[in-house]
Structures are given as structure tokens and as C-alpha cells.
Amino acid sequence: MEALVQERFLAEEIRRLKEERNAVILAHSYQRPEVQEVADFVGDSLGLSREAARTKAEVIVFAGVHFMAETAAILNPDKTVLLPDLGAGCSLADSIAPEDVQRWKEENPDGIVVAYVNTRAEVKALADVCVTSANAVEVVAGLPEGRPIFFLPDMFLGAYVERMTGRKLELWPGECHVHAGIRAEHLEALLREHPAAEFLIHPECGCGSSCLYLKPDAKMLSTEGMVRYAAASPASEFVVATEVGILHRLRKLAPDKDFVPVKPDAVCEYMKTITLEKVYESLRDLKHVVRVPEEVAERARRALSAMLQVG
């Protein structure tokens, strides 16, 4: 009971401070349920990027991970962008360094660099275009023919894009440790237990092609794609292969449907470092401002702007 009272108090204070600071809270779908509940917008990387680009708020509190707050800062150089916990990193973003990209560019002067939005600002600054899991297929399909393409850093998403577009990509061997841990054996068990369920699978998942072999009618979708599909589908049961934070949003938007995680312990510890108390403290003290040097931000902004125009 005491914890519930504290949660309500913090939520009320956050709402008060939002108005006082002219602030907006953007939260990723993998955030804790109580953090999602105080957010003005909950979504995936593409949706959050678009909200960050068009917000009129003076302060953006980003309940996500560091690269997401960087993206908001790049798109809003005149606004204050806050990250409630500077420890909210990303194993995928950390898997590639700017030097890796620069080396490839020097070896492929006519090449095109496609950077997943899950990358650091310095990597985005070296890219020709950024993508999210929601629009990567469409972006790559529209690239000029006959030029080498470097897709980074997620190899599973890259393999999916390669399969869907028929384009030959050079893939960086990076992975999200949460999605990479979702394997075919997890899917097999639930196929037997839930034979009538629809299967929603994030393209970053390690099961990749084997998942589609086991379940040919499975839907490979971004987090936002999962939400839209589940809300519109006549099905009443879904097996979900992604970080389990999305289940709160799915159950909230479709309370009459059942959602079963493929892997109940598919938890991003970086996302979960952000708590309601940290959101409150960040707003109260304008704590943990995220800044990107303008010489980096200017180049990264071009790649991000190209991403926002697609899908």
C-alpha cells in the first residue's frame, strides 16, 4: 500500500512539473508500466523520433536509452533533453564504433551506409540514412542499385531486410542481447502450447529464419507494428517475441485479448534503470541533460531526416 501511495504521489508531481516546465515525456514501449503511464507519448524508435521532431515543448524527458535521448537532442538543438538515468545504455549501440564505419567507407568510397537508429550519434553522423525496424525494408528497397550497402549494427535485422528486399547487404555482426536470446526452441514450446495463437516476432530476434520456418504465418513486426496489428486483428491470443515491456501496452490497448511472451525473462536491464522516481528527479532538477556537439549533430541530422521521410 505504501508503495502505491508513493507511486501516485510521484505521478501527480510529475504531471505538475510537466506543466511548470513546459515539458513532454516520451517513453519507449519497453519501459516500466508506471513510467509509460505518466508519458505523453509511448512508442517505438520511429514514433518517438517523430514526436521529438515536432514537439513544441521546451523540455523533453526521454524515458528510453541513451541513443534515443541523443536522437531527440539532435532533432531539437534548441530544447533541453533529459535522460532520467545516464546508465540507460544499449548493448547493440555499443557493438559498433565510428572507426568501424569510417574504415568501411574508406574501403568502399561509392558505398551507402545504412545505420539502425540504435547507434551512437557519432555513428549516425557517418551514415547516409538511418532506419528503424519499422521502415528499414522500405528504405533499403529504395536505395540506388549497383552500390555496396553497409547495414549496421544489428545482423538479425539486417538479414531480415536482405531477405525481404533481395538486396545484397554487408552486415555488421552486432546484436541486441535481449532479442538475440530469443531462440527457435522458445518458439517451438509455445507452438505446441498455443496452436491457435498468432505469433508476433521482432526482426531483431535471434530465431530469424528458423522462426518463419517453424511458423510460416508468423508476423515479423516492429514494436509499433505489433501494437497496431494486435489491436486490429480478430484473433484473441498472441504469442509475442520481443522485450516484455511491450506487454503492458498491448494489454492496455486490447484488454480482451491474451498476450503470451515467447521468453518471459526477455528484459532489457538498461530500459528498466529508469524509474518513476528518476523521472520525477530529472524533471524537478533538470538533471542529466543530453547534448550532442553541433559538428556531430549536423551530420547525424541529415541521416535522421532521411529516415523520418519514409514510412
Based on the fold, state whether residues 171 and 300 are members of the same structural domain: yes
Cβ atoms of 222 and 132 closer than 8 Å: yes
* pLDDT > 70? residue 1: no
Q: Which residues pair with 201 in a beta bridge?
A: 220, 241
Q: Containing H/E element for 61?
A: strand 59-63
Mean pLDDT of 179-203: 89
Enumerate the known binding-site residues.
Answer: 28, 45, 90, 116-118, 133, 176, 202-204, 223, 268
Q: Is 256 within a domain?
A: yes
pLDDT at 213: 73
Do the beta carbons of residue 13 and residue 20 sit within 8 Å? no
Q: Are residues 304 and 158 in the same domain?
A: yes
Number of domains in the chain: 3
Would you call 293 exposed, middle or buried from its count of C-beta atoms within 10 A (0-12, 13-18, 19+)?
exposed
Q: Is residue 6 part of a domain?
A: yes
142: in domain:
yes
Bridge-based pairing state of the strands 112-116 and 80-82: unpaired
Residues tagged in the binding site annotation for [4Fe-4S] cluster:
90, 176, 268
Let me know whether 51 and 103 are in one domain: no
Please report the pLDDT score of residue 46 as a whole number: 77
CA angle 189, 270, 23 (to 5 degrees): 125
pLDDT digits (tens, 9 = 90+) for 201-231: 999 988 766 677 777 888 999 999 999 999 9
Cα 56–chain centre separation = 22
Can you give the pLDDT at residue 125?
98
Three-state DSSP state, 171: strand
Together in a domain, 64 and 8? yes
Residues 170, 246: one domain?
Answer: no
Q: Note whether 301 and 160 are same-domain residues.
A: yes
Contact 74, 52 (CB under 8 A): no
> Which residue positions form the known binding site for iminosuccinate?
28, 45, 116-118, 133, 202-204, 223
Is position 118 within any domain? yes
Average pLDDT over residues 260-266: 95
Find the range with the poorest average confidence among 78-82, 176-180, 184-188, 266-270. 184-188
Provide the whole-model pTM.
Answer: 0.92
pLDDT of residue 100: 98
Residue-range definition of the domain harbouring residue 40: 2-89+271-291
Q: According to the model, what pLDDT value does residue 309 have?
A: 85
List of residues 6+ apart from 276 with CB closer than 8 A: 7, 10, 11, 14, 32, 34, 35, 38
Burial 142-165 (b: 16+ CB within 10 A, else e): eeeeeeebbbbbbbbbbbbbbeeb
Q: Decide if 223 contacts 29 (C-beta within 8 A).
A: yes
Residue 59 domain-assigned?
A: yes
Looking at the structure, do residues 77 and 98 belong to the same domain, yes or no? no
Interatomic CA distance for residues 175 and 261, integer angstroms: 20
Taking residues 66-77, report their average pLDDT. Answer: 94
- Within a domain: 285: yes
Residue by residue, DSSP assigns 90-123 as -TTGGG--HHHHHHHHHH-TT-EEEEESSS-HHH
Q: How many residues does the chain have?
A: 311
Does 75 have pLDDT greater than 70? yes
As a whole number, mean pLDDT of residues 120-140 equals: 96
Which CATH number does the domain housing residue 141 bear? 3.40.50.10800
Q: Residues 147, 218: one domain?
A: no
231 in a structural domain? yes
Does residue 186 contact residue 209 with C-beta atoms inside 8 Å? no
- What digits encode the pLDDT tens for the residues 83-127? 999 999 999 999 999 999 999 999 999 999 999 999 999 999 999
Pair (165, 35) in one structural domain: no
pLDDT at residue number 311: 61
pLDDT confidence band for 237 (50 / 70 / 90): very high
Does residue 266 form part of some domain? no
Distance CA 14, CA 12 (A): 5
**Average of per-residue pLDDT across 14-35:** 97
Q: Are residues 78 and 97 in the same domain?
A: no
Find the DSSP H helices in the chain: 2-21, 33-38, 45-54, 66-75, 98-107, 121-124, 136-141, 155-165, 177-180, 184-193, 208-214, 223-232, 246-253, 276-285, 294-308
Query: At residue 58, what is the residue type?
Result: E
Residues 161 and 301 in one domain: yes
Q: Are residues 182 and 163 in the same domain?
A: no
62 pLDDT above the threshold of 90: yes
pLDDT at 272: 97
- The distance from CA 282 to its chain's CA centroid, rounded to whole angstroms, is 22
Please report the pLDDT score of residue 208 as a whole number.
Answer: 63
Using the 8-state DSSP alphabet, how is residue 153 labeled? S
